[in-house]
Amino acid sequence: MKIGYPCINRSVGCTPNTTFRLTSYSPEKMKEKVRNNLDCLEKTIRFNIDNNLLFFRIGSPLIPFASHPVCKFKWQEHFKEHFCRIGELIKNNKMRISMHPDQFTLINSKKSDIFKRSVKELVYHEQVLNLLGLNKTHKIQIHVGGVYGEKEKSIERFIDRYRDLPINVKERLVIENDENSYSLKECLFISNKTKVPVLLDVFHHSLKNNGESIAESFEEVKKTWKKKDGIPMIDYSSQGKGKRRGSHTEKINLNHFKNFMKKVEKFDFDLMFEIKDKEKSALKAIKFLSLND
DNA sequence: TCACGTCAAGCAGAT
DNA sequence: ATCTGCTTGACGTGA
């Protein structure tokens, strides 16, 4: 099992997500920001390796406006070596990477131009993983999308659209249950039709489910990850104390985590801590697990 | 140097 | 009708 956290490390003193306003776009600015982001990504990856944090999510702003028409800069060519170097670090240390395009990426949108932009965005994410030289166990996770007041039709549209995606995207794509639209059960239905692996978000699942236990859910999800996909990726968080229902906790709740681990100890999976203090909670989890071997 | 309004993109649920 | 959350941050103008 690999433990990790998403997008940002709060200890390394830099961010791999610097960006700029569309109005101030220039190829020079683009180059400057991408270089900064890649430098910081490398620093973050090194921190992760040193601390045995072997699962990491690369944030979408790594290449700002990568899928936007304004971007004519050939970042793929220009930073080829840099990607290569970071990729070697990742591979040599057997790290695993995920990416999570943001909420605007909608495969099942009713509007075809939103779908087209979404494909571009997915292609961008796929290019990053490809330039790093990573195999197909490194994934891109998205939610199913909108409901538009007609869930069955929206699911059918997802399935149809999925079938037409570029093969490179398809090989990387996994779908994740969310807390208000598409539950695990619906993701599994879609997976059954398309063979897309399902990434279980245990916090979302606790908020929207069909009565399945965590162990039952793991059992079902496991079947959707084939050998080429690697072991299942799981997103973990818990309810923030005194905060709105569905709001992520600031720091790991070790009691909740202990309880969770007890229920899934017989499964093999990689675990992403979607917790606000990022690497701190992931490190606490690693410490906790090593003490309880 | 800092505060704070705003930032490419969409949807759902809460207020 | 408008705001907030989503992986939530970071930019950049004005003081």
Instruction: Give DSSP secondary structure letters for A40-66.
Output: HHHHHHHHHHHTT--EEEEPGGGSTTT
The mean per-residue pLDDT over the stretch A28-48 comes to 95
Tell me the three state secondary structure of residue A97: strand
Nearest nt (C1') to A101 (CA)? C7
Whether residue A229 has pLDDT greater than 90:
yes
Rounded Cα distance, A252 and A139, in Å: 25
On strand B, nucleotides with any atom < 7 Å from a protein CB are 7-13, 15
Distance A99 CA to C12 C1' (A): 28
pLDDT band at A247 (very low <50, low <70, confident <90, very high): confident
Q: Which residue has the tokens 């610097």?
A: A18
Rounded to 5 degrees, what are φ and ψ at A92? Answer: -60, -25
**Within 7 A of a protein CB, which nucleotides of strand C?**
5-13
Residue with CA nearest to C9's C1' atom? A17
Whole-number Å distance, CA A180 to C1' C4?
A: 14
Instruction: Return the axis-axis angle of helices A80-92 and A27-50, rounded to nearest 10°.
Output: 10
| Whether the Cβ atoms of residue A17 and residue A62 lie closer than 8 Å to each other | yes
CA A24 to C1' B6 (Å) is 14
Half-sphere exposure of residue A98, counting CA atoms within 13 Å on the CB side? 31
Q: Name the token pair of A123.
A: 């292609």
Nucleic strand B near CB of residue A181 (< 7 Å)? yes
**So what's the pLDDT on residue A293?**
67
Residue–nucleotide distance: A241 CA to C6 C1' (Å): 19
Confidence band for A61, pLDDT divided at 50, 70 and 90 = very high
Q: Say whether pLDDT at A292 is over 90.
A: no
List the structure tokens of A68.
């936007």
What's the DSSP call for residue A7?
A: S
A114 is near strand B: CB distance < 7 Å? yes
Q: How far in angstroms lies nucleotide B1's C1' from the CA of residue A212?
A: 53
Distance A129 CA to C5 C1' (A): 28
Instruction: Please report the pLDDT score of residue A148 as a whole number.
Output: 95
For A10, the token pair is 């709060």
Dump pLDDT digits (tens) for A95-146.
Answer: 999 999 999 999 999 999 999 999 999 999 999 999 999 999 999 999 999 9
The pLDDT assigned to A239 comes to: 87
Mean pLDDT, chain A, integer: 94
Question: A261-277 burial, b for 16+ CB within 10 Å, e for fewer?
Answer: beebeebebbbbbbbeb
Amino acid at A4: G
pLDDT of residue A244: 77
What integer is the mean pLDDT of A20-34?
92
Are the C-beta atoms of A236 and A202 separated by less than 8 Å?
A: yes
